[in-house]
Chain A
């Protein structure tokens, strides 16, 4: 019964949190490919998304740099789900989970940069674990898939000075 109460509280907290965590807030901040290759790799991508839906991006591909600043649009709703390796990676909504913690929380959505010429689907993945009875979320990364070019790029979050919204909405203890 106690376990059920804790679980209910967890789900309620999660549901309360999702009310204010928009795709804009989840993506807000800076993301880049592996920083150690920033200055000399032929391919490098960096993006900063602001919560007012403006962005600046830098894409270096085979040594050629393209930069862009403009507006971006997320899909109005973003699907968040846990991936459970114990059940053949079955997707199920994060708000419905009722088992022991899975190892990964994901959020899927679509991203339109500028005037729709670059339509990307995106996935945010974050490693999830429980340590000392508290949820720990680490290593958020953003996987961008450009539907036109078919290219996929994985970007890592540039550590900022505030808690990432996805993490701040989660309860810190059970």
Chain B
């Protein structure tokens, strides 16, 4: 019995080895927005989230493109960028589509998973 428990514990430990486990967040990966500036005055054109909590994002406004590299985390279905400097509620439409809602602007953007 003890041997069985030890085996299970060992298996659990092996599955938790850092660097060997799969990405633990469904946001990890890259996302791309579609549409035109005429349709939406602000949009994330694309972003990549790494599992270590870092990201690079490109945002397009009506007359400018901005990029950001920093840190991300999620709390209760809310994406927080750079210690809460920007926050977005998110909801998955399916495995490859996600909706981000800028709670300050009350605007919702849809991004598709890359590829």
Contacts and interface: CB of A to CB of B under 8 A. Distances in A.
Interface stretch (B18-26, B35-43, B90-98, B99-107): B18-26
Interface string A49-68: 11110111110000001010
29 contacts: A25-B19, A48-B48, A48-B50, A48-B56, A50-B23, A50-B30, A50-B48, A54-B48, A56-B46, A56-B47, A56-B48, A57-B56, A58-B67, A65-B67, A67-B45, A69-B30, A69-B45, A69-B47, A69-B58, A69-B114, A71-B114, A158-B71, A160-B52, A160-B54, A160-B71, A161-B52, A161-B71, A165-B19, A169-B19
A125 interface: no
Interface residues of B, number: 31
Interface of B: 17-20, 23, 28-30, 32, 45-58, 65, 67, 69-71, 73, 114-115
Interface string A153-174: 0000011111111001100000
Contacts of A32: 69
Contacts of B57: 56
Contact of A49 (B47, B48, B70): B48
Given A54-B30, A56-B48, A30 B55 contact: yes
Contacts of B53: 160-162
A28 B50 contact: yes
A30 B69 CA distance: 8
Interface of A: 20-21, 25, 28-30, 32, 38, 46-52, 54-58, 65, 67, 69-71, 158-165, 168-169
Contacts, number: 113
Contacts of B32: 69
